[in-house]
Structure 1
């Protein structure tokens, strides 16, 4: 081999080595080295094919073979300070897996009673599967907002405005169907809440007046119920008093009747004993029996009168006892 040929070979060898070094330098300088932290994820694609989710750790990717999928979104939220609408736009390679809260602008709904109002909602969600989310939906926050608007408008059309204002949980229950819609994207809904219901001033005044009227009616009904209950208690007390008074009078009459009967019985005993003593002293037997019969008739007449006056006490036992003392046989029916 000649010297010229050797020189040419050396030259092209050096030139090739130079380009190899340039290629290696460019390759290494474009290698992507990054860290995935806890509660974060990143998706690696291989030659443009659907990739895999990278777990927390350090990674270096070759740009010829691998690249990371970009998470891109754009949506609007309400500024909490002055209620101004603010645009949120981002492109990122790291996907957060923590719970995120979105405060969407108030949107218009029409209730069942044909009233236009605005609902201000907030939703809390988290990404559970980064690969499924990236390859299933584009602009995730915007898509969640549109599904919420559709579900809430449908539900609001089934409710009256006062029901929405008094019971916002009717709207919050849409969290379940919303979860059913977004779970196929690898997303979980943790909270859906109504922050505010806005209506016109005229409508607010009308609702306030209706609410005040309803409260006044409830107070009146409660007062009427209380008065009625008080009247019933007073009437029951008066009835019990009259019953006790009547029972007392009846008991007094019975006791008086018993006392008079006892007095008559004692008097009859005394007279019978006196007649027996007269008979023992020599008075004729027939005269004694005649006197006893007359006394029996007198005593019996008193007992019958006492019974007719009281009406509460039966003197049949007293009649029999007096007849026995008088020596007279009486048949009681």
Structure 2
């Protein structure tokens, strides 16, 4: 009997301890950093707990939802979109969202992650349907902005902020890939031909510029040669003139000295006779001076001067 009482009291003690542990577990709650606990009291929203230590009323308050405030990454599955020019493309995307209101995220929609993913797909199909195929590659950033703008407006009642959307891959049909490759090959060939022609054009320009510069250099050299020759001739004439003037000056000075006048007359007579004799040698015709008396007088005067010189 006594052993039975001990067993019952032990069971009650263990049961009480378990009840205390459960009560403490339901009463004391620690909320991690960057998280929110949504509390319901008797099935109705009560409050939202931020990070830290909190006390709840056992069996009356309960944690209905746990929401993270961290940025979440959602992989948007590939979807088939039709462009404005009726080309089917497969697009993969990545969506970045963040819960900004835990109450709305818990009660505004059943699953905001799934809803955001589906909304991103439908919005992307709508945006791609208004864009040509070429623009989908050139204006990817603009497409991402339009998707984010539409998603953010739709997700606002859910307490979710759409941060950004990125197109991760665009898959094209095989026929379109072949056409684009041919187009790119033709474009590369065109650019190569243009580059070659530009090179040849530049080469011809360089050659003509070289010829032009050569002609200019030759003309400049010829000009300098003519200038130098002209300066040389001018210098020669100047020196001859100076020498002639100096000679005339010295002759003039000599005439003014005693006997200078006789020396000049003698020199003139010698030149007269010499030139007259040369003229007679080079001509078959006999030349007789018109004034023989003058010649005789000149010769006589010359003889007198010679005699005076001998004395």
| TM > 0.5 | yes
Deviation at 1:254, TM superposition (A): 0.8
How far off is 1:35 after superposition?
4.4
1:38 paired residue among 33, 47, 51: 33
Which residue is equivalent to 1:151? 123
Instruction: Report the equivalent of 1:273.
Output: 246
* Residue matched to 1:217: 190
Q: Which residue of 2 aligns with 1:115?
A: 87
Residue deviations 1:98-125 (CA, integer Å, cap 9, x gap): 2222112211222232211111111122
- Report the number of matched residues: 239
In 2, are the aligned partners of 1:53 and 1:131 still within 8 Å (CA)? yes
| Residue 198 in structure 1 maps to residue 198 in structure 2 | no
Residue by residue over 1:163-194, the C-alpha shift from the partner in whole angstroms, topping out at 9 and shown as x without a partner, is: 32355333333364133443443222334211
Asked whether the equivalents of residues 119 and 198 of structure 1 are also in contact (C-alpha less than 8 Å), the reply is yes
Rg larger for:
2
Cα distance in 2 for partners of 1:107, 1:246 equals: 76
Please list the CA deviations of residues 177-225 of structure 1 after superposition, one character each: whole Å capped at 9, or x if unmatched.
Answer: 1334434432223342111111211111111221222222223323333
Deviation string 1:266-288 (CA, Å, 9 cap, x unpaired) is 1122223323333343369xx9x
Contact kept? 1:107, 1:120, Cα under 8 Å: yes
Deviation at 1:161, TM superposition (A): 1.8
**Is structure 2 residue 115 aligned with structure 1 residue 127?**
no
TM-score scaled by length of structure 2: 0.65
Distance 2:60 2:35 in 1: 23
Residues 144-153 or 253-262, more deviating: 144-153
Give 5+ residue unaligned stretches, structure 1.
Answer: 1-23, 70-92, 288-333
More divergent stretch after superposition (268-277 vs 205-214):
268-277
For the 8 Å contact 2:91–2:167, the answer to whether it is kept is yes
Aligned pairs for 1:307-318 (under 5 A) are none
Separation of aligned partners in 1, 2:244 and 2:146? 103
Contact 2:80 2:91 in 1 (8 A): yes
Equivalent pair of 1:53/1:130 in contact (CA under 8 Å): yes
Structure 1 residues 78-106: Cα deviation after superposition (integer angstroms, max 9, x where no partner)? xxxxxxxxxxxxxxx32222222211221
1:53 match: 48
Residue 94 of structure 2 aligns to a residue whose secondary structure is strand
Q: Which runs of 5+ in 2 are unaligned?
A: 1-18, 256-260, 266-311
5 Å-filtered alignment, 1:1-333, equals 35-57=30-52, 61=56, 65-69=60-64, 93-165=65-137, 168-174=140-146, 176-177=148-149, 178-282=151-255
8 Å contact kept, 2:38–2:103: yes
- TM-score, length basis structure 1: 0.61
CA–CA separation in structure 2 for the residues paired with 1:57 and 1:131 = 18
Q: Quick one: distance in 1 between partners of 2:27 and 2:191?
A: 71
Distance across 1 between alignment mates of 2:184 and 2:27: 64
SS at match of 1:125: strand
Which protein is richer in helix relative to its size?
Answer: 2
What CA distance in whole angstroms lies between the structure 2 residues aligned with 1:132 and 1:56? 18
Distance 1:121 1:39 in 2: 26
What's the C-alpha RMSD, in Å, of the aligned pairs? 3.4
How has the CA–CA distance of structure 1 residues 265 and 56 changed in structure 2, closer, same or farther, with 3 Å as cutoff?
closer
Give the whole-Å Cα distance in 2 for the aligned partners of 1:60 and 1:265: 124
